[in-house]
Amino acid sequence: MVNHNSEHDRFGMADTGNVPRFPRSAVPAPHPQSGFCYRYIPFLVLLVTLFLSYQTWKNTRLLTQQELQLNFDHHTKAAYDNIIRRMAAYEQVLRGVQGFFEASRSVSKHEFAMYITTLRLEESYPGIQGIGFAPQLRHDRKAAHIAAMRAEGFHSYTLWPVGTRRQYAPVIYLEPTNERNRKVFGYDLLSESSRREALERARDNGTAALTAKLQLVQEGSRNPQPGCIMYLPVYRHGSAHRSIEQRRAELAGWVSAPFRMNDLMVGILGPQNDTLDIEIYDGNEISDKALLYDNDTARHTSGPAPRFQSRRSIEIGGRQWTMITSSMPGFEKTVHKRELTLVAVASIGGSLLLSLITWLLVSARSNALRAAYNARLTAHALQEAEKLAQIGHFDYDPRSDKTYWSEGLERIWGLEPGNHYRQFKEFLATVHPDDLQIILDSDADKSWHETNNEYRIIRADGEIRHIYSYGYRESAPDGTITRVFGINQDITERKRAEEAIIRSRDYYLQLLENFPSLIWRAGLDGKCDYFNRTWLAFTGRSMAQELGYGWAEGVHADDLPACLSTYYAAFESRRSFTMEYRLRHHDGSYHWIVDHGSPHLDAEGCFIGYIGSCYDINAQKNAELALKETHEQLEQRVAERTAALTEANQQLLESRTLLKNTQQQARLGSWSWDIASDRMTWSDELYAIFGWSRDLAAPGYHQHGMLFTPHSYACLDNAFARVLATGEAGILDLELEIVRTDGIHRFCLLHGEAVQDDTGAIVQLRGSLQDITERKQLEEQLFEARKLESIGQIAAGVAHEVRTPLNAILSITEALFHQPQIGHNPEYDQFLHHIRTQVNRLSLLMNDLLALGKPIPASSLHPVPLSELCRDTISIWQQSATGTARPVDFQSHISGTATVLVDGIKLQQALFNLLENASQHSPARSAITVALTTVPSREMACIRISDAGNGIPLGQLDKVFEPFYSNRKGGTGLGLALVKHFIENMGGTVRLWNNDPPPGCSAEVCVPLRDGDSA
């Protein structure tokens, strides 16, 4: 509000000063005429004209009612026709997909996705959720189907819901691929009755079939919509089949189109309006249970009964819908009230005009009274208009220094009506203190002729409202302000809407603000313009300190150059990046973090900067350092132990008085062999090393073959024979493997020398035998630790250096084959297939390398039924390329409920590798035996896999479990290494030996039984 006088400007409210003022009341009644004689003549004229007006209005209402009925029928039929046409169009889309399948020998997921993309469903067919395909699958082909899908790269693919059924119809294609449609992947359509009924009807009739009302699998838990699905059968070879039996025999699957009813009907009928209420029910039943769609849900619970209503039946895909169309108040007001009002106003106006003429003829006084009455009507209409538009007007009179407030203005300010005149200071008292200066500045400005302002007021009840003011100022020729007037409008709701829009724009920042990860954002110039609260809490710095390149101050000086180089290179090429560096924590220490950054795009796909997240990996880095220290300590212990043993041997030669104690501490025994008598003498410690009873004499030399492995005994015998043959009294040093009497193998170091008589002939061999099994185990542990560390480093390097180029190769190849001159040429298909196969092979190799370098956490071990797992593994393997023609003899000697505590996926992969290995080293069509047993004393369950091949050379038995060792052309050398890694990480053992008697070899895997389980 704006007003001024010659001394100062004022913001008040007043009427124009020329329109009469009336208190708030109903529409004023006309003043009665004076004079008795002529008083009733105009009244009689009015009665007659009003009667004629009523008859005219009555006839018009009847015609309008008929017009409304025709208009309602037209809209109802238009909605009915739109539904029929649109559903027919969707059926034609399905028929196109049906023809695509029937005209092709096979359709890959990529080809299907390309075809659906060309349909441009969202633009050309609004309301449809996607196009899918589900093959018909017998129960005996279930395992083969799952194996084939997993071989295509869907490693977690399975059929669901779980259960055994005669036939399945899993959804394997559903495009476009989005968050909703991914939920349906692998879902068996025949598992639910409504879908099954429609599928069977489509199959037997060869036509499109629509399901009953159902809830789509794509629906979430929030605001689910009713839905339905249209199915169309796909027959092999695309041939027409006359009989039901032929259709069932030649059925290949179904193509489908799911619909969310609200989205579908909005696409067909348009958005909700207040003219017609359209309800669609499944079948003939009219109930909430059968309700598919209703664009006016409130009509069910409130409001008057509709004036017009229509009921029609719709036949779609062999399913009947019932459409009930009802008129709404908006429709009933569209024509008849407008025309009736027009007729009534015109008729009454004519009556009033005729009566007015009569009044004018009767008395000039009547004209004056009628004019005053019309003026009062105008004022009342102005008041009603202000009420509807939330507008009030004001008028300031400098002569009286008073401002007039209209009734609408009093309503906006929340004031009691009646006191229309108020002073300027009363208005200032209602202005919000923060906006008061706006009023005062405008008051001080003398230059404006018209102006507008926005400010807030505080009503008497404490509510704050937003006001838009537009005012005019009139001045006399001498510059004196004579009048200020204008309007004020309540814009509170508009302001709230604008604030809601602003809040929604920054909503994602509010989500990121308390995200547990460290979040940052950069603009087009590469400078960071946002850090979330977690980042600031981590660094202990303010937002102002971190903005721009301030964050780099917290990066460790040794890591900063590489960090900035990676960031700038990725920003320049607009690609994602991952890097590790040390960032200063708020406590002053540096923490290792991993930073993942990606290009930030707006809603239209335009690049607007980068956004990234960081994770604290300091604990992981510390663990790596601790592992390295452990390795160093282990090496030191081995070195110290070796030095101690060497020192012990030296002391043994120097001081025989300490022989017994030294031998016990060093696991060292002495021996001597009298060659002439073949008498062998052992020390007490040697008896303990061999596990030989001290009550028995030491066996002769030629009986020592049972105390050593064949290979070790051969080495020993050759060394002794060489000494005896040459007569050289040299020193012997041999590392041998002994076999104790309890069957345990130990590693020993034999030291020997020859004793000569006076003639130089060798008469005795003597020396020591030391048990070095623990040292060998330490050396093996150290070797394995170094090897796994190397493998982990290789795996990480390969994953970073190989996977990214592989994905780039595959993406570039896919883009190349989208070129018309290449993609539509069949002769290039084999090259694309070869590239995909090789990339997938390398990806699998990368997965094996990563798996070999990772331990299996205890949290991954769960009870698994062993017998069921073995049967499933054999079934899946026999569906693979190598196991198709290979019989397997499965023998279970354990309880069917026995369970083992393992990682089921890792154990299944280990068994799969052993079956592959047995098949590749066995004659064609020879059987593989899989036997299950238990070892109660060890609480273990064992799986033995035996083949009929040539076995493994003895020299290679100790190497088969080593990584990258392979005796097969084209092998990676990781299969058996992964088996050993998986089984030992799950607390089990694995061993491999040649069958005795031949042929073939056997591999045995033993894993822990769950507590309480036994055979």
Q: What DSSP string describes 234-284?
A: EEGGG----SHHHHHHHEEEEEEEEEEHHHHHHHHH-S--SSEEEEEEESS
- Is residue 956 one of the residues assigned to a domain? yes
Together in a domain, 298 and 166: yes
Note the pLDDT tens digit of each residue in 597-621.
999 887 678 888 999 999 999 888 8
Contacts of 452 (CB under 8 A, 6+ apart): 468, 469, 470, 471
CA proximity to 686, closest of 737, 650, 647, 740: 740
Looking up tokens 């180029």 gives 805
CA 254-260-263 angle, 5° bins:
130
Together in a domain, 836 and 923: no
Cβ count within 10 A of residue 835: 17
Using DSSP, state whether 520 is helix, strand or coil: strand
CA proximity to 1003, closest of 924, 928, 937: 928
CA proximity to 146, closest of 130, 168, 166, 165: 168
- Tell me the pairing of strands 928-935 and 940-946: antiparallel
CA proximity to 667, closest of 752, 551, 747: 747
Together in a domain, 457 and 557: no
CA 928-934-940 angle, 5° bins:
110
Q: Which residues pair with 901 in a beta bridge?
A: 863
Radius of gyration (C-alpha) of the chain in whole angstroms = 47
CA proximity to 979, closest of 902, 925, 926: 902
Together in a domain, 108 and 253: yes
- Is residue 729 one of the residues assigned to a domain? yes
Amino acid at 206: G
Length of the chain: 1015
Look at the alpha carbons of 525, 527, 532, 535 in this order and tell me if their dihedral is positive or negative: positive
Contacts of 709 (CB under 8 A, 6+ apart): 737, 738, 739, 745
Single residue among 467, 497, 527 that ends a domain in this structure:
497
Contacts of 992 (CB under 8 A, 6+ apart): 952, 957, 960, 961, 976, 1001, 1002, 1003, 1004
- Is residue 506 one of the residues assigned to a domain? no
- Phi, psi at 729, each rounded to 5°: -90, 45
| DSSP letters for 158-205 | --BS----SEE-B--EEES--HHHHTTTTBBGGGSHHHHHHHHHHHHH
CA 899-905-909 angle, 5° bins:
110
Together in a domain, 827 and 895: no
Amino acid at 74: H
Cα separation values, 228 from 80, 136, 219, 629, 836, Å: 18, 20, 12, 64, 37
Single residue among 571, 590, 623 that ends a domain in this structure:
623
CA 292-296-299 angle, 5° bins:
110
- Is residue 917 one of the residues assigned to a domain? yes
Domain of 713 in residue numbering reads as: 667-854
- Is residue 359 one of the residues assigned to a domain? no
Together in a domain, 450 and 527: no
Gap between the Cα atoms of 754 and 738, Å rounded: 22
- Is residue 933 one of the residues assigned to a domain? yes
Note the pLDDT tens digit of each residue in 374-411.
667 776 766 777 777 778 888 878 777 788 888 888 88
Gap between the Cα atoms of 290 and 825, Å rounded: 51
Together in a domain, 796 and 872: no
pLDDT at 23: 44
Q: Residue 400 belongs to a domain with what CATH number?
A: 3.30.450.20
- Tell me the pairing of strands 1001-1008 and 989-994: antiparallel
Single residue among 854, 875, 894 that ends a domain in this structure:
854
Contact 308, 326 (CB under 8 A): yes
Together in a domain, 877 and 817: no
Amino acid at 212: A
10 Å CB burial of residue 432 (0-12, 13-18, 19+) is: middle
Using DSSP, state whether 294 is helix, strand or coil: strand
Contacts of 694 (CB under 8 A, 6+ apart): 684, 687
- Phi, psi at 993, each rounded to 5°: -150, 160
- Is residue 655 one of the residues assigned to a domain? no
Together in a domain, 399 and 471: yes
Q: Which residues pair with 257 in a beta bridge?
A: 230
Together in a domain, 588 and 730: no
Contacts of 143 (CB under 8 A, 6+ apart): 872, 875, 876, 879
| Token representation of residue 65 | 């009612």
Q: pLDDT below 50 — which residues of the chain?
A: 2-27, 31-36
- Tell me the pairing of strands 391-397 and 291-294: unpaired
- Is residue 33 one of the residues assigned to a domain? no
Gap between the Cα atoms of 478 and 316, Å rounded: 82
What are the CB-based long-range contacts (under 8 Å, 24+) for 681-687?
683/659, 684/660, 685/660, 686/769
CA proximity to 518, closest of 533, 528, 503, 508: 533
Gap between the Cα atoms of 685 and 698, Å rounded: 12
- Give strand ranges (E) for 572-718: 577-584, 590-601, 607-616, 668-674, 679-682
DSSP state of 402: E
Q: What share of the chain is helix, strand, coil (3-state, %, to 5)?
A: 45, 25, 30
| Token representation of residue 600 | 């930030």
Together in a domain, 143 and 279: yes
pLDDT at 577: 92
- Tell me the pairing of strands 251-260 and 131-135: antiparallel
Gap between the Cα atoms of 253 and 242, Å rounded: 18
Gap between the Cα atoms of 1005 and 984, Å rounded: 10
Together in a domain, 713 and 697: yes
Domain tally for the chain? 5
DSSP state of 189: G
pLDDT at 28: 53
Gap between the Cα atoms of 846 and 802, Å rounded: 9
Amino acid at 732: L
Contacts of 448 (CB under 8 A, 6+ apart): 442, 473
Q: Residue 141 belongs to a domain with what CATH number?
A: 3.30.450.350
